[in-house]
Amino acid sequence: MKKKTLFVAITTQKGGIGKTSVTVLLSSYLHYLKGYEVAVVDCDYPQYSIFDLRNRETEVVASDEYYSVKAYNQLCKIEKKCYSIVMSSIVDATSKANELAQEENLDIVFFDMPGTLNTDGVLDLLSEMDYIFSPISADRLVVESTLQFLSLFNDNLITTGIAKAKGVNLFWTMVDGREKTSLYDMYNSVINDLGQKIMKTSLPDSKRYRREITFDKKPIFRSTFFPIDSSMLKSSRIPELAEEICSIINLKH
């Protein structure tokens, strides 16, 4: 039976807050470890960072025996190939996603989109998302930019009834264990006062986010070919984030 494919975006206005990394980590976790069928539509022109990452990884995996064997073993074990990543303009993004959803009987399509709502077509694309998740960090500029994003989203898409999503789900990221919890309490109460909920799971601040497949064969963190290495999975808190997201979007096997 054809299932309903959910359109999900990890997005916000602020640049460099981990939207792309979290999209990759969640996609790989859900696709390779949790048995969901996932695809990614990369419409973050001109960076196309996820599409680029897949290309860089493809070169390494094709030319390095260690990674080709690893990819082959994974294929035999889970009996599925790596997920599709397509590059798209903003305007074509939903039709490309619908095509993929038909062909691959997908559970989720993740969209990586430009950070600014001013780019033509971004608001229309956001209105097509079933769910939107936004990383936020405890930095005044980030919090201000997030609040601005939320109010633009509300004014343009919620009050007008255009958005499919009921709202934006915020989660803390780049959380440094040494930061005062009072800082988070303060921001949480500001955000709650605005009627917004923050998710339970937060992601740690970790240099591992930069770790991609390289010829040095260190354990893999951010990859479109493989899930996070088991040695780092628990501390990454990606399993908790994925579980919380699956429960919000009501995704079941």
Ligand X SMILES: Nc1ncnc2c1ncn2[C@@H]1O[C@H](COP(=O)(O)OP(=O)(O)OP(=O)(O)O)[C@@H](O)[C@H]1O
Binding site for Mg ion (CB under 5 A): 19-20
Using alpha carbons only, give the angle 19, 22, 24 rounded to the nearest 5 degrees: 110
Choose the one of Mg ion, ligand X, none that binds residue 244, judging by a C-beta under 5 to 8 angstroms depending on kind.
Answer: none
Helix or strand holding residue 223 (H, E): none
Residue 72 CB, shortest distance to ligand X, in Å, is: 28
Distance CA 232, CA 214 (A): 17
Site string for ligand X, 174-193 (x = CB under 6 A): x-------------------
3-class DSSP assignment, residue 168 = strand
Site string for ligand X, 87-126 (x = CB under 6 A): ----------------------------x-----------
Distance CA 56, CA 117 (A): 29
Residue nearest Mg ion, Cβ-based: 20
Distance CA 65, CA 130 (A): 40
Distance CA 116, CA 148 (A): 11
Compute the half-sphere exposure of residue 142: CA atoms within 13 Å on the CB side of its CA. Answer: 20
Distance CA 242, CA 86 (A): 22
Point out which span in 19-27, 58-66, 86-94, 148-156 binds ligand X (CB under 6 A). Answer: 19-27
Distance CA 202, CA 100 (A): 31
Choose the one of ligand X, Mg ion, none that binds residue 201, judging by a C-beta under 5 to 8 angstroms depending on kind.
Answer: none
Of 90 and 101, CB closest to ligand X: 90
Residue 220 CB, shortest distance to ligand X, in Å, is: 14
Residue 9 CB, shortest distance to ligand X, in Å, is: 12
Answer yes or no whether residue 173 interacts with ligand X by CB under 6 A: yes
The interface with ligand X within residues 45-64 (CB under 6 A) comprises: 49
Phi, psi of 169 (to 5 degrees): -100, 120
Of 77 and 207, CB closest to ligand X: 207
Of 13 and 20, CB closest to Mg ion: 20
Point out which span in 9-17, 53-61, 99-107, 120-128 binds ligand X (CB under 6 A). Answer: 9-17
Of 142 and 251, CB closest to ligand X: 142
Phi, psi of 198 (to 5 degrees): -100, 140
Collect all residues with Cβ–Cβ distance below 8 Å to 241 and sequence separation of at least 6. 22, 26, 171, 199, 201, 203
Site string for ligand X, 197-236 (x = CB under 6 A): ------x-xx--xx--------------------------
The residues of the shown chain that bind ligand X, judged by CB under 6 A, are 15-21, 44, 49, 115, 173-174, 203, 205-206, 209-210
